[in-house]
Every structure is written in C-alpha cells, then in structure tokens.
Amino acid sequence: MRRPALILAPLIATLASCGPTTPGPPAPGPPAPTPTVAAGQLPAPADFAGISDRAQRSRALFLAASPVFHHPRCANCHPDGDSPLQGMDGHLHDPPVVRGPDDHGVVGMQCQGCHQDRNLELARVPGAPKWALAPRAMAWVGKSAHEICTQLKDLNNNGGKDLQQLVEHNAHDELVAWGWSPGHGREPAPGTQASFGALIAAWVETGAECPQSEAKP
Amino acid sequence: MKLRVNGRERELEVDPEMPLLWALRDLLGLTGTKYGCGQALCGACTVHLDGEVVRACVTPMRRAEGREVTTIEGLSPAGDHPLQRAWTELCVPQCGFCQAGQIMTAAALLREHPQPSDEQIDRSLAGNLCRCGTYLRIRSAVKRAATAVPPVK
Amino acid sequence: MPSLIARRTFLAGLGLSAGGLALGFFPADTRADDDPRGGEPPAKPPTRDPAVQAADPALHPNVFIHVALDGLVTITCHRSEMGQGIRSSLPVLLADELGADMARVRVVQADGDPKYGDQNTDGSNSVRGSYEEMRRAAATPRMLLIAAAARRWQVDPGSCHAEGHRVHHPASQRSLDFGELAAAAARLPIPQPDAVVLRPRAELRRIGTELPLIDAPAYVTGQAQYGADISVPGMLIAVIARPPVLGGRVASFDRARALAVPGVRQVLELPAPTPPYAFQPLGGVAVLADNTWAALRGREALGVTWQPGEHATHQSSQQREALLAAVRAPGAPARQLGDATAALAGAARIVEAEYLVPHLAHVPMEPPAALAHVRADGCEIWAPSQHPQAARKEAARILEIDEDRITLHVTFLGGGFGRKSKSDFIAEAVVLSRAAGVPVRVQWTREDDIRHDYFNTVSAQQLTAGLDADGQLVAWRHRTAFPPIDSTFNTDAEAPGPDDLQQGVLDLALSAPHVLAEACAAAPHVRIGWLRSVYNIFHGFAIGSFIDEIAAARNADPREVWLATLGPARVVPLAELGLEKLKNYGQSIAEHPVDAARLRHVIERVTALAGWDEQRRAGRALGLAAHRSFLSYVAVVASVILDPAGRLRVDEVWLVADAGQILSPDRVRAQMEGAVIFGMSHALHGAITLKDGAVEQSNFHDYRLIRMAEAPRAIHVELVASERPPGGVGEPGVPPVAPAIANAVFALTRQRVRELPLARSLKV
C-alpha cells in the first residue's frame, strides 16, 4: 500500500507514522516507520532504529535530511541557473549577480565584494567564509531527494569528495554552517549542522542508499 | 592597524568591525568614496582592495588590514585615467554622487576585460545605481576608455 | 579629524582671495537691479558703498559678476547644482552677455542670501525664471567696461563692443582687456535698469551650443564636496532615531547603553513637532559621536520605544479604497466647459477608467546630510540645499535670531528632485548643534531617507470620455483625488485645489465641447512633498493611458487619437479651457500660453523619429504619451519586449522636447535621458506603502530603482529648436514616460495596467 506523498514545504515536513513493516525480502516497498519531529527540527539517527532493513533505513535517513538541501538557506546558493536566489520565495538575487567563470561572480560583482566572512546585522548582508555559488553540478533547485542524493555521491561532480569527506563537509564546513545561522531574521535550515551531520553520517554508515525517484519526506 | 591607502602607509586606531567606508571618510578625510545605502546595494562606496572591487560600506577594517586600498582619489595621480577623461569628454555626470563608484568598478572591469562587451559592462556595473539616469553615457564612456587603458599594474 | 573649512576647500584652486568676494556688502538698494522678481526700480540711482568699493577696487556692480584687476571674471551661480548642470549653463549665459572668455571665468556658488533674489532651485525654473534678469546682470558690467574704454579712447561708446574678454574699437583697431578696464569701470555710475541694453540674441555666442561640463573634473576625481563631505574642528556626527509613524513620540530609550558605545559623546532627544509639520525636525533621539560608525552603532543601542501617534492605524490598502471611493463621486469643479454631465449621459459610447499611483520617494543618491555650527554670534551651515533661503529662515526661527546672523553655504547636491528643498534635515543640525554646544553634522541613512521622506502624494483618478457615434470626443470628465502638498503646511488642507490641478488637468488642450475636472478630497498620513514633476506624474500617467484606452476602444491609431483629442494646432485661451485663471507655473499666460500646436508637434516628431507606422506594422510594441508641464512640451514613445525569462524590458525610447530657448543642449538632453530612467523607476518598480502608519520600505532592496542592466539599449532625444521663452527642462521629461510604457505594455500583451508600479501586475 502506498501512502500518498506529502507535499514538501520550505518549512520542515512533519513525518507521519504508519504501522511496522514485516521483515522479509528487500523490496522497494512502502515507506518504513519514520519519526515525527517538531517543525524546524531534524530527527536523530537513533529514531530510525525501527527500520530493520539497512537499505531502507539508509534511504529513510537521507530523506529525513533532505529538507535541509531543499531549504532556501541552502538551495538559494545551489541554483540550476546563473544567479543565486534570495528569500523564502527564491526570487533572483538583487542586485543582479551572475555565476561568472568560477562561481565567484564577475569582476565588479564578485560575491566577496559584498559578502564578508560573517553576517552583518546593521547592513543585513549575510556572510560566511568562502562565500560563493555552488558549482552548477551541485545544483539542487528543482531536484528531487533522489536526484540530489545521486549527485552528491558522484565523485566527478561533487568536488572529488568521497563519502567520508562528504560527512566531514556537511558536519563542519563553515559555509555549510551558515545555513543554520543566517542572521537578520532569515529562517534557518531545519535542525542544526550537528544533527544534519549526524543524519548524513548515519546515512553513509548504512550504505549511502538513495531514496526512490518519487520519494519525499 | 596598518594598511596602505592610495599608495601611502596609514596607521589607524580603529574598531576592526568599522566599515572601511567610515575609516576612509571620517578618519582619513578621503570623502570621494560615498555613503549611499550601507547595505552593498548601490555601489556608491566602491573602492579597490588589492585591486579587487569591494563595497567599503560593508568591508570591515580587519579585512583591509595590511592590504592596499585604492579610492577614487588614488585612481590616477593627475586625475586623467582614461575613464576620467572619457567621463569628462562625454559629460557623463549629472549630480556626480555615484560616479566615483561607477568609475572604480569600471576601472576594475577594464583591467580584466580591456574591450568589454555591452553585456559585460551591464553585468559588472549592475551594482552601481545612478538615480540621475546616466547609464547610457556611462556605457559609452567605458567603451571610449576601453581603447586607451594602460596595462595591468 | 581633518579640518577642512568648507569655503576654502570649495574655492580651492580658484585663486580668489576672501577680499575678492566682497559679495556680502552690497547695499540693499542695488538689489532691485538683479532681483529676478522684478518690481519697482529704485527711487534713486544705485550707488556703491564707498567702504566696499575702497576694500575692493575691482568691478562688481552686482552680486553676480566680479571682474578683477587681472581680468579674472567670477560669476556667481545663485541656484543649487544638483545635476541639472545649472553651473555649466547659467554662468555661460552671463559670460556671453558680458563678452567674457570662459577660460578666464570662474564659477562660484552663492551662499543663501536674499540679495541674490530667488534661490529656490525647484519647479524647473532656474533658467525660465531668471533668464532676463541674469542677462541684465551681465549687461551692466559690459556697459561699464565699454564706457570706461570709450572714455579712455575718447570715442563714442556706441562704436565699441565687448568680445573675447576685451573691449574693441574697430574703427581705430584698439582694444583693451577687461582687466585693464576693471578699475576704471568700477568708478563709473551703474546704469539705471531701464538703461541696460541686452545684446541681440545672435550675439550670445556660446549658449545654445555644446557646452562643457565645468564640474566634471571635480566629480570624476572625488573632489566635489557634498553635504556629508564637510568637516570642521570639534564636529560631532549625529544619527537620529525618528518616530516610525508620523506624529509618533519617544516613549523610552536607553541612553546609557548608547553612551557606552566607543566614540559616542552625547545622546539628545529632539523636540516632537506639532502639525502642520512643514520643515520641523521629526523628533526622536539623536546619537552624537566622533565618527559615523559610532553614531550608527549608538543609535542601534538606544532601543527606542515609541508612542504611536495619530496615524498609527493608517494602512495604504485602506487609503487606496478611500481614494477610489472619492473619485467615484463628484468633487469640487475646477474646470468646466459646456455641460459634461449631461453630455456624458447622452453620449453614444462611454469609455471610463480609474488609475492609481502610490506614494513615491525621492531617493537622491546622496541621503540628506547637513552641518551646522551654532555659535554665540550666529550660525554657520553647510548643506546641500535646494532652497537655501528657506533653510536660513528655518534656522533663524529655531534660534530666534535675525536671518542675517546665519550663513548658509550651499554644497554640491547628490541629487535633489525636490527632497532638498525641504530644510528639515538642516533644522535638525541646527537644533542639535545648539543643544550640543559643538558643530553637528546630521547624517541620514538610506533607511531614514526612505522612511521619512516628504513623499510624492498618492492618488486615484477617474477619467470618463463620451464619444459620439463616429467615435469623436464630445465630453471629458476627470476626477482626481490626492492629499495635497499644502497639507504639510496647513492642517485644514484635505483636498487638492485648482492650483494643484494646473499640473496636467487644467492645462490640457481638448477638442471636446464639454469638459469637467473635479478635485476630490483625500486626507494625508505622511508629509507630502514635491518630487520631480510632482502631480504631473500621476496626471500624466492617467491622461496618457486614457487617451490610449480611447484609441483601443475605437480600434484607432493612438497617435491619431492623441491629435484628435487635443484638437487643432492653436493657442488655447482660458475660456476654451473652461478656466477663469491658470497659475501656469508662476509665469504669464500671455508669454507661455497653453499651446496645442507645440504639443501636437512633439507628438508628430517623436512618432516620426520612432518610425511609429512602420515599426507597429512590423509588430513592435510601441506606446505613445505626451504632456505639458512647467511650460514645456514633451512626447515619448517607448518600446517594450519580453526577455527570454518572460520579464518586461523597455528596450528603446524616443523623446522629443520643446522647451523654448535652450542654454545648454547637452545638459537638456542629459536631463531628458535621466528623466526616462527616473520615470522608468516608478513605472516599473518603486512604491511607498504604509502599514500601521509606518512606511514598509527601507532601502534599495524593497524600493527598487532601475539599474544599468534594465536601461534601454538606446534613448533618442530630440530638442525642438525654438526662439520661444525658455520653459522648464528638469522635470518635463518625466510625466510622459510611465504612460508611454504602460501603453506599450498594452500593445505587447493586450493587458491594460492602470496601477503603478507595473511590478504589481507583471514580471519586470
């Protein structure tokens, strides 16, 4: 039985429970029991202990982490096109800026011409070290959890990071960290970098399985 | 802290978080760089930091420490950079307030793209607002100056 | 802290000693010579004060021209330079009239002083309002120099002429430099006003040609000094927390926390103003510090809480409905011809539409800033003021001293557009300097500028046309509702008056035999000001769109409908307009009539220039609009496209302006180019809205201006060659821009947008 998919909002999705699955042969079956979380939070890896199938658990862990990737604080700088986005509605960055030859803007409008290494409150300008656009190969806007997952694991397109480096990056990178401390009344990504990092670590540890194409948290 | 401004070593007692704009204007008396918005939206405060365009209104002094700042006053010793000449020949300025920022951005553009296309000009100067509406003349002046820029320093 | 005394810095390099500027000492009875308001000639011949003459033996018969003994001619520009290029044009007129060589002319900026006559740089009137008087101011020293030369040569002055900085006597091939004649000329009696002879127009050699921009070198090197660029010893910089809602008051603030910020020296509360607000400071709490950063941080630390004030329940959304309701009912008639009500009732066809334009903010690139130094003996001010005498008056009122104890130096203005005619920001500096006991420079942030502007007023209009069976216009009714500017100065003003409707509603030539224009009531909730073309912005938008709507209703060519609506080429007398009088921008209707021929002409020229017929046949989306304002006539064609992302773009604009005689074609073209961009900003983007009485916008992210990338590929400006008296040039380019764009949008999309900005309805 398929549960109807819930529409993912920019806010945290509430994960609904359903009954436990019967252990059996691995199959792309119905979604396993997944934990409920309060808005703006992420579940902990321990909350997935109820999923006995490792691959299923892995997929569920990634799905639970995916609202972070989709959140505007992260997705806005992982656009598919030539310009970063702004706001909760993902409008084009104003003043108009473009990616440039190496994702750091063009002369006169480079990211770090305006963005500093930390948020500026009086000036409202967000900042973190190494502020720049993610390369186009790391675009997330408009992509499903499945697509992002696949992309994330692709060594050729993820900055050459192996899975362990991915865990490290997500859990500790300063630019990634910004998503949870965006400053000036901007809504942060769900959970914390630590809880996000923990989900990713657990996902890697369970085999880094990618959710089904149509799966949503 | 120490930094070089227009080729001259300066030493300032200053809050490291003070934006470069206010150090330039209030502490060093270099008023050619203007305050227009304080949020890096208008470009009136554009200077070069080690040759790169930055908006001084949001650049903290700790970022400028030990580095080379160039303001409009230091763009050329005699005020005759090809952009300044082109701006004068084409009577570009109206109120003039945004023009230092426009010229500083254009100077960085020409250093990297000596023969910029229309699209490159529009993209690089997109952050410099002009309320008087001199944009079309700025485009023409950048192109006129493009044929006469000195080599990269 | 660097100590740059404004006047010296301002005049650096001009080589003028303080003595050469003995401009403050002319006796009052010489004012009538150069008083542009005209008036009665003095009862006795003007004389120089012997003490003044003894102090400076150069030739300076009036406050505008000084010819030094070495021949250096100093021309004083009495109007503020805010980008319209007045310093590069009006002085050239004087130099031409005098016969000076511009290479030996220096231009200095006048302080605010009634001896210069009207210094209000506003209403596009600097040239049109002072043209004659400026010429006479320069003709006077010319006559004196000629008289001095003629006397020396023992010839008839009529056989001499002045040109190229010399007086010439062709018959004997003698000539003398102005410098050699200045001392002698200075001792001759100044000619009576009615004896001053102007050159034939053809002898004014430079004006009307391509003139250089004399301040360009200062602008492009960062040397030009604006309001925030002046420092004096001991100065503190003030940043003020002002009530978010008009009429609000300070409830509490944390003085100690602000004083704890390094660099903060004083925290002062400003007196709360009482309506009518006029130019009073808005009140609030000021933080005074050694530098701007400390003052900004200090203000953040104040944590001011506010008592909301009477406008705290005001919502723009409600006001919009109230304005629409107002124009859906009759108002006070301001223009009546025939019986429009009956004619509309009997018309074969009715076209009706309502138009809305929000409050607009001036947003000059330079936010307001002013420096005041109140001393025991008076006050010295440096400010980017459009109206220095009004500022002086305000300072005198605050300090309760005579105006002549106040010196006001006018700096360059980083844009004005009307904002800097209001001296509230200067008043703040005066109040704070007196309270603080030191010179104080007040710095407005961009947020302050957008939140606390004197906004262009908000409006709704209803236009109704009655057409006969052939589609000809037989009746025209225009209802307009807006809180008037007068409400800022007069608490009873809650409806526009006839003088307000003169901006576009009353001076519109119409072919209809039945015309009615009505002013409908509207209450203010902000300080209403005047912004570059003022009420013409929304009147021009409504009328310009409406004529296009009539054309669409008739499936006719908008150009033809414009010409048919205006009626034949003619000067339209007041009676035919349906008026008893017309304020006519302060000038005589005889000299500047409502001339349908001139408006028709610019429409015909701009459509020809734009290739109206061919381009439209080829499928290009063009829009046409025209407007008379400030005694000039402008027509605009705009072309719009959708870019690959589906975003509206204005890709090309044509503009033809008839402004009568023009001093500097380049500066007028620049004003028109700028007016296109200026008009595009409010057509596409900018709107000021209020929620719970407070302005919702604060900086360029939510009050957007046109950026370079949005500017058209080309703006074609043509100036009509004319010998008519000068009309305005600073403002008239603005009103036709928004309607031309809206009309082009209709041509492109068949979508009629009646409410600005277009961003509300379209992707822009």
String of b and e for C214-242 (b: at least 16 CB within 10 Å)?
bbbbbbbbbbbbbbbbbbbeebbbbbbbb
Same domain as C120, residue C47: yes
CB contact A82 to B (< 8 Å): no
Question: In the prediction, which pLDDT does A157 show?
Answer: 83
Question: Rounded mean pLDDT of chain A?
Answer: 87
Of the three residues C188, C221, C254, the one that is the final residue of a domain is C221
Q: Which chain C residues are closer than 8 Å to A81 by Cβ?
A: none
| Count of domains observed in chain C | 3
Same domain as C740, residue C648: yes
Report the CATH number that the domain containing residue C99 is assigned in CATH: 3.30.365.10
Give all chains having 3 or more CB-to-CB distances under 8 Å with chain C. A, B
For C326-348, the pLDDT digits (tens) are 999 999 999 999 999 999 999 99
Q: Which class is B82-148 in CATH?
A: mainly alpha
Q: Is residue C687 part of a domain?
A: yes
For B90-124, the pLDDT digits (tens) are 999 999 999 999 999 999 999 999 999 999 999 99
For C24-67, the pLDDT digits (tens) are 222 222 223 333 333 333 333 444 566 666 788 999 999 999 99
For A119-147, the pLDDT digits (tens) are 998 999 999 999 999 999 999 999 999 99
ipTM, two decimals, is 0.97
Give the percent of chain C with pLDDT over 70: 93
Instruction: Please identify every stretch of chain C with a pLDDT value under 70, giving residue numbers as ranges.
Output: 1-53
Q: Is residue C616 part of a domain?
A: yes
Same domain as C111, residue C57: yes
Other residues' Cβ atoms within 10 Å of the Cβ of residue C516 = 25
Same domain as C713, residue C629: yes
Q: Is residue C449 part of a domain?
A: no
Question: In the prediction, which pLDDT does C22 show?
Answer: 22
Task: Look at residue A12 and tell me whether its pLDDT is greater than 70.
Answer: no
Task: Look at residue B152 and tell me whether its pLDDT is greater than 80.
Answer: no
| Count of domains observed in chain A | 1
For residue B35, give the nearest of C85, C228, C363 by CB distance: C228
Q: Which CATH number fits domain B2-74: 3.40.50.280, 3.40.50.2300, 3.30.230.10, 3.10.20.30?
A: 3.10.20.30
Q: Which chain B residues are closer than 8 Å to C531 by Cβ?
A: none
Q: Is residue A59 part of a domain?
A: yes
Question: In the prediction, which pLDDT does C29 show?
Answer: 28
Of the three residues C189, C221, C253, the one that is the final residue of a domain is C221
Banded pLDDT at A26 (limits 50, 70, 90):
low
Question: Using CB atoms and an 8 Å cut-off, which of residues 106-125 of chain A contact chain C?
Answer: 122, 124
Question: In the prediction, which pLDDT does C721 show?
Answer: 96
Same domain as C602, residue C544: yes
Same domain as C213, residue C231: no
Give the percent of chain C with pLDDT over 90: 91
DSSP assignments along C470-491, one per residue: TS-EEEEEEEEE---GGGGT-T
Same domain as C557, residue C415: no
Q: Is C308 exposed, middle or buried (0-12, 13-18, 19+ CB in 10 A)?
A: middle
For C515-560, the pLDDT digits (tens) are 999 999 999 999 999 999 999 999 999 999 999 999 999 999 999 9
CB contact C300 to A (< 8 Å): yes
Domain holding A143, by residue range, is 40-89+135-205
CB contact A89 to C (< 8 Å): no
For residue B123, give the nearest of A98, A117, A122 by CB distance: A98
For B129-148, the pLDDT digits (tens) are 999 999 999 999 999 999 87
CB contact B53 to A (< 8 Å): yes
Domain holding C394, by residue range, is 227-310+368-443
Interface-testing mutation among B25, B61, B73, B91, with chain C (most C C-beta atoms within 10 A): B91
What chain B residue is nearest to C294 in terms of C-alpha separation?
A: B18
Question: In the prediction, which pLDDT does C26 show?
Answer: 24
Give all chains having 3 or more CB-to-CB distances under 8 Å with chain A. B, C
- Flag the least confident range among A13-17, A41-45, C33-37, C463-467: C33-37
For B16-53, the pLDDT digits (tens) are 999 999 999 999 999 999 999 999 999 999 999 999 99
- A23 vs C122, more confident: C122
Q: Is residue C346 part of a domain?
A: yes
Banded pLDDT at A38 (limits 50, 70, 90):
confident
CA B63 to CA A115: how far, in whole Å? 12
Q: Is residue A116 part of a domain?
A: no
Same domain as C335, residue C262: no
Q: Is residue C2 part of a domain?
A: no
CB contact C763 to A (< 8 Å): no
CA C26 to CA C24: how far, in whole Å? 6
Question: In the prediction, which pLDDT does C41 show?
Answer: 34
Of the three residues C190, C221, C252, the one that is the final residue of a domain is C221
**Mean of the pLDDT values across residues A156-160?**
84
For strands C284-289 and C236-241, give the pairing. antiparallel
CB contact C544 to B (< 8 Å): no
**Mean of the pLDDT values across residues A49-61?**
95
CA B47 to CA B71: how far, in whole Å? 5
Q: Is residue A176 part of a domain?
A: yes
Same domain as C740, residue C653: yes
Question: Rounded mean pLDDT of chain B?
Answer: 96
Q: Which chain B residues are closer than 8 Å to A109 by Cβ?
A: 53, 123-124, 126-127
Task: Look at residue A21 and tell me whether its pLDDT is greater than 60.
Answer: no
For C738-750, the pLDDT digits (tens) are 999 999 999 999 9
Contact C296 A122 (CB under 8 A): yes
Question: In the prediction, which pLDDT does C54 show?
Answer: 72
CB contact B139 to A (< 8 Å): no
Same domain as C305, residue C337: no
Q: Is residue A70 part of a domain?
A: yes
Q: Is residue A143 part of a domain?
A: yes
Q: Is residue C1 part of a domain?
A: no
Same domain as C613, residue C528: yes
For residue C24, the Cα-to-chain-centroid distance in whole angstroms is 27
CB contact A122 to B (< 8 Å): yes
Same domain as C88, residue C115: yes
